[in-house]
Structure 1
Amino acid sequence: MALPIRKTWVVLVASVFAQAAISALQLGLPALGPAIHLTAGFDTATIGLLFGLAGVFSAMAVIAWGHVADRTSDRFVSVIGLLATALSLALAAGFALAGQYIWMGVLLVISGISAAAPSIGIIKGMSGSFTGHPRLGLAFGIRQAAIPIGAGLAGLALPFIALQAGLGAALIALAAALVAAGVAMAYALRHPSAHHHRVRQKGAPTNTPSTPKPPIPWRLITPIFGAAILLTATQVGITALLSLYLFTARNWSYGGAAIAFTAVMLFSGVERVLMGFAADRWPRARVLMICIFGALTAALLLVVSVTGDQQISAVLLIIAATTGMGWASLSITVTVAAVPTARIGQVLGVYNASCWIGAGFSPIIIGLIVQQYGWSLGWLLLGITAICGVLVAVSRIRAVFVAPIAVVEQTMV
């Protein structure tokens, strides 16, 4: 009797939910910046350090999680990572309720270690289900859309919960969402993937040390990873401090800053789905589109840096935050399409580490600069960072345009 295999779209639905939950922590938590500022008394530099160190810890852990995913299963790293992160948040909430804010901050940073695991498991699970599928780009566009949507919903809900019931209650709500996501992933990934099934049908041995692994196209994807570091630094540098900037520098209300953060995330979700369609429609233009988004974001940041105290700077920064998140579904599609599924865990470990290096250090550095020299210099440096990311990615535009389609769209097992 044939073994059951995973249902492709069930995997997608569970993956989107799980990614939204983990992104509520990784990107939505900065919406609590004003609450942390008011409740714990942390200044801008300290809050930037708190959010940044969580990213640094993720970067340190994510390569190891990638190797674990290749040696165990996508289901294992997804479920363990989600539940362990929920536990860390529950403990952080306990310390927040007790007024021990330093320990709360320590546990939020530690949660970055386990929070690195689910994204690896989610992408590996989707890669096994969608590699060779005609809607590869759309699937990963939807998955990438879950990142800002999860952050946006968290940006709306967490400040409201914090205002009504306290900071600890907001962290408990986030932990509950992660537990539900762990249950969903355990169910969706309970059967072998379509990729695993195809390998068995061909009679190829699986997970044996003697089996030669297909090569990784490092020459194609390394510049994409370099660009990802710089563009993620720009993206997270804006979003991690956006609410705090609107609240402290532009004198927006707490609720107004939360609504602006949520709007950025929701619009970015739609943007990423549209980029998924575009990635399928024009696969050879994926890197070009990454460069366009990076250049537009850089231009907006440079304008924000010179508009000073004018209110238009807040509007332009909100637009820059939105465009700064549009490239991510394109870069992950380029990577997944080019890398054999058997090597995807290792490669995703490197990719996510690249992103989290940028995500981790950006709010720390920009927070310190803002504290010492003001917001304008911070936005200027982020604009320059985006320009550097575009210059790195540009080197791969021609390579993708002229490459054989088998390199652009990987279908080997």
Structure 2
Amino acid sequence: MSTTSAAPAEVSTRRRWAMLAASTLAQAAAAVMIHGPGFLMHALDEQGGLTLAEAGLVAAAPLVGVVLTLVLWGSVVDRCGERFVLLTGLTATVATGALASAVDGVALLAMALLLAGAAAASTASASGRVVVGWFPPERRGLAMGVRQMAQPVGVGVAAISIAVVAERHGVSTALWVPTAAAALAAVVVAAVVVDPPRPDRRTTPAPNPYRADLYLARIHGVSVLLVVPQFLVWTFALLWLIADRGWSAGAAGAVVLAAQVLGALGRIAAGWLSDVVGARMRPLRWVAVGAGASMALLAVAAGLDAAVAVPLVVVATVVTVADNGLAFTAVAERAGPSWSGRALGVQNTAQYVAASAVPPVAGLAVTHWGYAAAFGLAALFPLVAAPFVPVREERALT
């Protein structure tokens, strides 16, 4: 058990919000490291001579590292506490990020990025547990929405910085952007975060929540389907604007950044809405339908080469990221403090398994059929997911 927990009365409201900010920063830094290599695809193509599919494999390397370690990190969180995992993982992220910037060759770069993704995966369960542990149910959706904004903001920061730095100074220099972000986050976490209280497992054993019903399994499955259009837009919006629409890296990065900031605000709005309606699953179903519709419209506009395709890619970016906080909060609430680390690890692992396949598979789809067809295929996944959202099985928020 962690020795850094504090009793609820010892932590003020201001301290709770400070820990939320630190957790959000940690998750944002991890997002820059995990998703940043996706914005190196154009530079790897131009400077390294890689095909789009090969560059997609490099971009997917951190995601593979995340997949391999999420459940393990979740188990460590359940046993050792959130603060320990955040500090250990962020420190390792700095070390592996520096390694990635120093290696030479595609194979070594991919391996170093895999290790960096494995280290950055530590923030997923740990930062979410800090939020769920310190905020009451009636504010938890909003708080988790704030924490979940870290991912699109991190992707936006990566889009506006990594592509430009890689274009001007090379891939190795660009990799110092996520490395520096992880270092900053580690310092802030060390200064602010304490572990939330939890029951003593020796005196209060918790049953396995997966044996009770299929509620958690259905959320995991729905989230896998919803992550496909999200990662397709994240990975290829910048490249689409540059290669297909003729934009500069700076201008395209600015659009992606704006879309990610709006997506971050959308996650906050979705979390607030779930607090208002007293449910996480009904808003999740609404988001699934909206994601399918927005991706379908984007596909049509891109196929027609219409000017409205650019604002539609912004809309699709906003809608496709809105589900994550809702699902993440629902999993943590149903699993409880004794199981949420592992359950959140499973949740994120399932998503990243799908996400890691998106860059190379979508790269092949774009190469053979074009961007419009890839956008259209991605629209099918959230429409399939919508009927399977467990709306009726959700309990009252506790």
Q: Give the TM-score, by structure 2 length.
A: 0.90
1:181 pairs, out of 168, 180, 185, with: 185
CA distance in 1, matches of 2:354, 2:110: 20
Cα distance change, pair 133–327 in 1 and its aligned pair in 2 (3 A): closer
Match of 1:373 in 2: 369
Deviation at 1:126, TM superposition (A): 2.2
- Tell me the residue number matched to 2:218: 223
Residue of structure 2 equivalent to 1:113: 118
Contact 2:233 2:317 in 1 (8 A): yes
- Give, in whole Å, the separation in 2 of the partners of 1:234 and 1:218: 28
SS at match of 1:398: coil
Number of the residue aligned with 1:155: 159
Tell me, in whole angstroms, the C-alpha distance in 1 between the residues paired with 2:195 and 2:243.
51
What is the rounded CA distance, in whole Å, between the counterparts of 1:163 and 1:390 in structure 2? 40
Query: Are residues 53 and 80 of structure 1, via their aligned partners in 2, closer, same or farther at CA, if it must alter by over 3 Å?
Result: same
In 1, the alpha carbon distance for the partners of 2:262 and 2:91 equals: 29
User: Per the alignment, do residues 399 and 273 of structure 1 end up closer, same or farther by CA in structure 2, a change over 3 Å counting?
Assistant: same
Matched, 1:125 2:130: yes
Q: Secondary structure at the match of 2:392?
A: helix
1:267-313: CA deviation from partner (whole Å, max 9, x where unpaired): 001111111211111123x2222222222221232233344151333
Q: What 5-or-longer segments of structure 2 have no aligned partner? A: none
1:80-116, CA deviations, whole angstroms, 9 ceiling, x for partnerless residues? 1111122111111112xxx534422321123221121
- On the 8 A contact 2:124/2:345 being kept in 1, the answer is no
The answer on 1:212 being equivalent to 2:205 is yes
Q: Which of 56, 70, 77 is the aligned partner of 1:69?
A: 77
CA contact (8 A) 2:43 2:171 kept: yes
> Aligned residue for 1:139?
143
Please say if residues 299 and 375 of structure 2, whose CA atoms lie closer than 8 Å, have aligned partners that are also in contact.
yes
CA RMSD of aligned residues (A): 2.2
| 1:203 corresponds to | none
User: 2:283 aligned with 1:289, yes or no?
Assistant: yes
CA–CA distance in structure 1, aligned partners of residues 373 and 47 of structure 2: 28
Give the equivalent residue in structure 1 for 2:329.
Answer: 333
Q: Secondary structure at the match of 1:399?
A: coil
1:56–1:219 Cα change, 3 Å: same
2:193 counterpart of 1:233: no
| Deviations 1:227-276 (CA, angstroms, capped at 9, x unpaired) | 10110122012211111111112222211211111111100011111112
CA drift at 1:36: 2.7
Equivalence map 1:264-303=2 (5 Å): 264-284=259-279, 286-303=280-297
| Distance in 2, Cα, partners of 1:155 & 1:348 | 27
What whole-Å deviation, never above 9, does each CA across 1:95-143 have from its counterpart, x for those lacking one? 2xxx53442232112322112111111112222222x353111110100
CA contact (8 A) 1:27 1:151 kept: yes
- With over 3 angstroms needed to count, the CA separation of the structure-2 counterparts of 1:80 and 1:3, relative to structure 1, is closer
Residue 150 of structure 1 and its aligned partner are, at CA, apart by 2.0
* Inter-partner Cα distance in structure 2 for 1:269 and 1:192: 25
* 1:323 maps onto 2:297 in alignment: no
Alpha-carbon shift at residue 3 of structure 1 (Å): 6.2
Match of 1:94 in 2: 102
| CA separation of 1:119 and 1:192: change in aligned 2, threshold 3 A | closer
Contact 2:131 2:140 in 1 (8 A): no
Corresponding residue for 2:33?
Answer: 25
Matched residue, 1:247? 242
Give me the whole-angstrom Cα distance separating, in 1, the residues matched to 2:328 and 2:45: 34
Aligned counterpart, 1:202: none
Question: How many pairs are equivalent?
Answer: 385
How far residue 9 of structure 1 moved from its aligned partner, in angstroms, is 1.9
| Structure 1 unaligned blocks of 5 or more | 200-205
Q: Are the aligned partners of 1:35 and 1:159 in contact in 2 as well (CA < 8 Å)?
A: yes
